[in-house]
Amino acid sequence: MLHSSWFWIAFAILVFWALGAYNRLVRLRAQVKQQFGPLQAVLLDYQEVVQQAVTAAATAPQLWDHPGNSDLGHSYWTRLQVAAGLSTVAIAHMQNHTLEQDSAQALHDAAAELQDAWAALIHPDVYFINIPDHLKQRWLDLDLLVQPELSRFNAAIHEYNQAINQYPAALLARLFQFRAATVL
């Protein structure tokens, strides 16, 4: 059997197929990590808006001090700064562990908390805090910019997940411990 030329031809085809399938899985995994770069840049722009808002409030106290109670707006600013800090940590963790479910969940939760903190800060009921209009507009612009990047990232994850679940490649994926990624 080992001396048969058909055996060696079949063996060579199998080896080349396995190398090709493995290279495809590695390429798709790298593509997911590469697609996180532009998404990360937009997510970090939110941090910049938060920093500008905090700086504006610190340099112009009338943006957050109410004459009757100087502590009235502090909880909103604190919540925003904490949410921004958690979001930054989650982005950094996601950068290093792009395909891990815990990283995706932490980033999703941190981004949702940052959005909630910003919404609470600019809510009309919070009349005692005035965020500059250009920062409100920048936040809205970022909300529009993040959607296409998020869609591209999630599309890359779907393609990667499909590749590791296809029958022949699934065997290699299991052998080399490729894990399914979580969409954001």
Mean pLDDT of 61-71: 53
Is residue 4 left, alpha or beta, with left meaning phi > 0 and alpha meaning psi from -120 to 50? Answer: beta
Residue 166 pLDDT greater than 70, yes or no: yes
* Maximum separation of any 2 CA atoms in the chain, in Å: 94
Is the pLDDT at 137 greater than 90? The verdict is yes
Least confident of 76-80, 120-124, 127-131: 127-131
CA separation for the pair 56, 52 (Å, rounded): 6
Instruction: Tell me what pLDDT residue 2 has.
Output: 62
**pTM for the structure as a whole:** 0.84
pLDDT, greater one: 21 or 115: 115
Secondary structure (DSSP) of 8-73: HHHHHHHHHHHHHHHHHHHHHHHHHHHHHHHHHHHHHHHHHHHHHHHHHHHH-GGGT-BTTBTTTT
Spatial contact of 89 and 123, defined as CB atoms under 8 Å apart: no
Amino acid symbol at 151: S
Tens digits of residue pLDDT in 3-16: 788 888 888 898 89
- The confidence score (pLDDT) of residue 98 equals 93
Banded model confidence at residue 62, pLDDT cuts 50, 70, 90: low
Q: Are 18 and 172 in contact (CB under 8 A)?
A: yes
With 0-12 / 13-18 / 19 or more C-beta atoms within 10 angstroms meaning exposed / middle / buried, residue 90 is buried
CA 96 to chain centre: 11
Q: How confident is the model at residue 18 (pLDDT cuts 50, 70, 90)?
A: confident
SS3 label, residue 75: helix
DSSP lists the bridge partners of residue 66 as 69
Q: What is the pLDDT of residues 69-118, one digit of tens each?
A: 555 667 888 999 999 999 999 999 999 999 999 999 999 999 999 999 99
